[in-house]
Amino acid sequence: MKKIVIVVLAVVIVICAAVMGFLTFGNSQKGSVEIIEDKSYLSDFVVQDGETKINCVLTFKNTSDKDITFSVKAHFTDDYESGLVSDEYVIGICEDTGEEHITIKAGETIEYKGVAFCSKNNGSEIKSDRLLPDLTIEEIE
């Protein structure tokens, strides 16, 4: 009887270990791009010809084992409410390429000195802070 209990426990432990291993390694292959916040910042903003352009330096890290193409969306709640921008959510444009899509290689960390978020100005030329906006990474399938 003790041998049966030991065998059943061993089987349960092996199954649990296999499931946990699958979940751990399965998630790492899905891909993930992170913003390295301590190396990213809002560099400046300009209001010109009825448009607000908010420029950021952003550092990204690809923690997966595959190349990932993505876009970056900024959420400008305070600037939208103040009238600095007319869109609460704005997709960033990489000034090096003029594109909204960025591709980062597997395991790579890269800094983009010019990611611009542009929106029609809605009457204000004052920015209440110099903080990096809330950013969302949207992977392109």
Q: Does domain 33-140 have CATH number 3.40.30?
A: no
pLDDT at 6: 66
Cα dihedral 28→62→103→72 (10° resolution): 100
Per-residue pLDDT tens, the chain, 141 aa: give them: 666 756 555 555 656 555 455 554 444 445 599 999 999 999 999 999 999 999 999 999 999 999 999 999 999 999 999 999 999 999 999 998 899 999 999 999 999 999 999 999 999 999 989 999 999 999 997
pLDDT at 96: 86
**Residue whose C-alpha is closest to residue 118's, from 56, 58, 57:** 56
Q: Where are the domains positioned within the chain?
A: 1-30, 33-140
